[in-house]
């Protein structure tokens, strides 16, 4: 079965054109991948995608509301077509330069499910959105609640080793849609959770949550290492509240019989380019990984504003500041790492100094 891409919504067709695909690749790919058999991402409409990133294979294989079990997702006709294409090492629909299949194979042993159903958040960071978004009622709330309730019923029956990533596009603790799930859902023994959050509500909500013991990875976005920078880039967050919650997390992890892993994340931008070392020192103090990632254009700001924020342009006035900060962070903390583009640019900058 071949997939008729012309039937995809316009935005999905545009996404297919945005990244080079295996169909455009002139060099045969010999590596193998079983990700489409083990991965699921569910968006705000209930569309299901079977890659680590929706943009890498932006083809919905089905709608979760049409599924009586999670297995139905991977057994749907479109999913089967993608799986067969990958098994044949054609990678027709895959963003092969972004997922790195040209350089390595992928053999998953656990299922991985990412929820991106609700984008509600208690912050309005300029890198992500132009204003506050918090859905608490109305038709969209009702639709999203239906999706989350249905997913909860399906995951409760899915007795397979699984990592559930909550969530990909908002704050799971601030969401009035996810919160009932977090406070009432009892995951199965072989289910683990990766919690992606700004961290501001951890101390308040997690101690009494049945999911806490299942959280094996905390990924906390903070974007700064000082009060001045934090309150500029994480509006309207308060630095004192952040630190109170990070210290709660530090104490909780320290006292766990089997310690979970944790990382703090900084999205590199003009307003925090000079704060990377402070951020790294905070990570070192709390004994977590320090991760610096590049700024992506999510359409949150006009293009000219985005370009002003994007310090990875070598002509940006803060480019050298950012590179010096990245290089120093590598030197002072063994658990500091940057996304591949930043890492490569830092190496090139150092060589050319």
pTM: 0.90
Per the domain annotation, does 19 fall within a domain? Answer: yes
> In which band, very low, low, confident or very high, does the pLDDT at 6 lie, cut at 50, 70 and 90?
confident
Local confidence band at 126 (pLDDT 50, 70, 90 cut-offs): confident
Between 306 and 82, name the one with better pLDDT. 82
Place 66 in a pLDDT band, splitting at 50, 70 and 90: very high
Contact 264/291 with Cβ under 8 angstroms? yes
Q: Outline where DSSP puts E strands in the chain.
A: 39-43, 47-49, 62-63, 111-116, 162-166, 191-197, 215-221, 261-267, 289-293, 336-338
Q: Which domain holds residue 24?
A: 1-108
In the chain, the number of structural domains is 1
- Kindly tell me if the per-residue pLDDT of 76 is higher than 90: yes
Exposure string over 41-71, b if 16+ CB within 10 A, otherwise e: bbbbebbbbbbbbbbbbbbbbbbbeebeebe
pLDDT at 256: 85
What are the residues whose beta carbons fall under 8 Å from the beta carbon of 52, sequence distance 6 or more?
A: 35, 39, 41, 99, 112
Least confident segment among 182-186, 232-236, 314-318: 182-186
| pLDDT tens, position by position, 204-217 | 999 999 999 999 99
At 312-348, the pLDDT tens digits run: 999 999 999 999 999 999 999 999 999 988 999 999 9
DSSP 3-state assignment of 108? coil
Q: Is 143 part of any domain?
A: no
Q: Tell me, yes or no, whether 113 lies in a domain.
A: no
Residue range 158-175, pLDDT digits in tens? 999 999 999 868 899 999
Phi, then psi, of 39 in degrees rounded to 5: -120, 145
Is pLDDT of 24 > 90?
A: no
pLDDT on residue 168: 67
CA angle centred on 177, ends 176 and 181, rounded to 5°: 105
Q: What pLDDT shows up at residue 270? A: 97
The answer as to whether 289 is a domain residue is: no
Does 13 reside within a domain?
A: yes
- Give the Å distances, CA to CA, from 189 to 38, 111, 154, 193, 322: 18, 14, 15, 11, 43
What's the token pair of residue 280?
Answer: 């790294």
How many Cβ atoms from other residues are within 10 Å of residue 11's Cβ? 9
Q: Evaluate whether 50 touches 74 at the Cβ level (below 8 Å).
A: yes
Q: Supply the mean pLDDT for the chain.
A: 93
Distance of alpha carbon 279 from alpha carbon 223, whole angstroms: 8
Q: Pick from 251, 241, 246: which is nearest to 264 by CA? A: 246
Classify residue 341: in a domain, yes or no.
no
For residue 299, is pLDDT > 80? no
Rg over CA atoms, the chain: 21
Asked, for residue 320, whether it belongs to a domain, the answer is no
Residue 72 domain-assigned (yes or no): yes
Separation CA 202–CA 209 (nearest Å): 10
Q: Which residues contact 30 (CB under 8 A, 6 or more apart)?
A: 89
Please tell me the least confidently modeled range out of 29-38, 168-177, 183-192: 168-177
* pLDDT value at 58 more than 80: yes
């Amino acid at each position: 079965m071949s997939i008729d891409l012309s039937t995809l919504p316009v935005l999905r067709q545009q996404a297919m054109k945005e990244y080079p695909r295996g169909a455009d690749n002139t060099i045969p790919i010999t590596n193998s991948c079983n990700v489409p058999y083990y991965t699921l991402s569910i968006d705000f409409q209930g569309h299901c995608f079977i890659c680590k990133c929706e943009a890498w294979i932006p083809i919905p294989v089905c709608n979760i509301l049409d599924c009586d079990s999670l297995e139905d997702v991977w057994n749907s006709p479109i999913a089967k077509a993608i799986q067969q294409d990958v098994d044949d090492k054609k990678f027709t629909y895959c963003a092969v330069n972004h997922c790195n299949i040209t350089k390595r194979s992928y053999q998953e042993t656990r299922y991985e499910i990412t929820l991106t159903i609700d984008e509600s958040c208690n912050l309005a960071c300029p890198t992500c959105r132009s204003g506050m978004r918090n859905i608490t009622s109305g038709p969209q709330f009702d639709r999203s609640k239906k999706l989350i309730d249905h997913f909860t019923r399906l995951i409760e029956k899915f007795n397979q080793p699984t990592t559930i990533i909550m969530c990909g596009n908002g704050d799971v603790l601030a969401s009035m849609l996810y919160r009932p799930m977090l406070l009432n859902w009892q995951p199965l023994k072989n289910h683990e959770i990766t919690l992606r959050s700004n961290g501001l509500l951890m101390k308040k909500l997690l101690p009494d949550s049945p999911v806490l013991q299942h959280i094996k990875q905390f990924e906390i976005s903070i974007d700064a290492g000082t009060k001045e920078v934090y309150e500029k880039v994480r509006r309207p967050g308060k630095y004192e509240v952040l630190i109170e919650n990070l210290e709660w997390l530090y104490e909780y992890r320290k006292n766990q019989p089997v310690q979970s892993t944790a990382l703090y994340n900084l999205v590199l931008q003009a307003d925090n380019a000079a704060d990377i070392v402070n951020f790294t020192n905070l990570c070192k103090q709390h004994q977590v990984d320090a991760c610096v990632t590049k700024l992506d254009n999510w359409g949150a700001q006009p293009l000219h504003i985005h370009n002003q924020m994007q310090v990875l342009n070598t002509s940006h006035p803060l480019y050298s500041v950012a590179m010096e900060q990245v290089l120093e962070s590598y030197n002072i903390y063994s658990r500091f790492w940057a996304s591949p583009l930043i890492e490569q640019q830092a190496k090139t900058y150092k060589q050319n100094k």
